[in-house]
Structure 1
């Protein structure tokens, strides 16, 4: 459950900069969990944009990579492209929330499916970014995604990075 608004505005390019970790689940239209995942994200700031590399590991052992290039358009508007996004993603920030929508082509059971994601990212009171997404095909709901994204914990002193 998303906690009450934090009072701080979401600046996507600031939140996504650096190393992040995520965990989430995909639910079918009846609310049953069909798949869970963890992800490692790395955000690199560019002039008027941020590049975000996502590395997913699913509970069935499958892996997936996605690289976003998200343009900061000003006035809370963003536009993004990624390797499997069919056109462009577009979104706008409203306080601590970003509404983000895009068509994407994903392989499901070895076959390509063109789906539409309608994401809502919301900062919660713990510093996490909560993503709830409605997933549809031809306008009909096929499921939802729930994901929690957090800054990666800093390495302990003397601990080597992988």
Structure 2
């Protein structure tokens, strides 16, 4: 009986999975190169597998594009004082289709846009203490309006969710930079 219940619940969960095709006409239509062109600031939290917030952070992002090739320079500032940088090299490969690489990304990230939603998937090397773990990230980025995005990311190891990220992006002028975020240390922001 127990194996039958496991199969039933697995099929039920699979049937309820959101697909990018669920958002074909959602508005406003998301354009990666338009939104991530110039400065953007984002704020986020990391939750562990028990939904406990374990980290808060701010990210200053500068995006630039040359035709179908883009760069996102991300500077991360965590509530424990840690800083990090990721520079994405992005390529538009077809209408609504993108690939990307970065120093801590394993292989090539791939993403697609439908309506106001961008799904971005990749493997990321994550340092925890003196160990590095390879996690699979499944980003769902939703355009709220011309200035704001909301991102939910499931982080998995061996197919099991181990953490979740929630990130709010804002590019409304004047852009509020991380150095204006009072809850985070400002060391290394200059």
Query: What is the aligned-residue RMSD (CA, Å)?
Result: 1.6
2:67 to 37, 44, 47: 47
Q: 1:44-123 alignment to 2 at 5 Å?
A: 44-123=64-143
Q: Which residue of 1 aligns with 2:31?
A: 11
**SS in structure 1 of the partner of residue 106 of structure 2:** coil
Contact 2:75-2:83 at 8 Å conserved across structures: yes
Q: Distance in 2 between matches of 1:120 and 1:25?
A: 15
C-alpha separation between the residues in 2 aligned to 1:6 and 1:74? 20
> Residue 158 of structure 1 aligns with which residue?
none
8 Å CA contact 1:52, 1:68 repeated in 2: yes
In the TM superposition, residue 12 of structure 1 has moved relative to its aligned partner by 0.5
State the TM-score, normalized to the length of structure 1: 0.88
What is the CA–CA distance in structure 2 between the aligned matches of 1:98 and 1:134, rounded to whole Å? Answer: 14
User: In structure 1, how many angstroms separate the alpha carbons of the residues matched to 2:106 and 2:114?
Assistant: 25
Higher helix share: 2
Contact kept in structure 2, 1:130 and 1:149, CA below 8 Å: yes
Question: Which consecutive segments of 4 or more residues in structure 1 shift more than 3 A?
Answer: none
The gaps in structure 1 that reach 5 residues or longer are 156-161
- CA displacement at 1:8 relative to structure 2: 1.8
Find the structure with the greater CA-based Rg.
2
SS in structure 2 at match of 1:31: coil
User: Where in structure 2 are there 5+ consecutive unaligned residues?
Assistant: 1-24, 176-189
> When you count strand as a share of all residues, which structure comes out higher?
1
1:37 corresponds in structure 2 to 57
Deviation at 1:110, TM superposition (A): 2.6
Q: TM-score w.r.t. structure 2 length?
A: 0.76
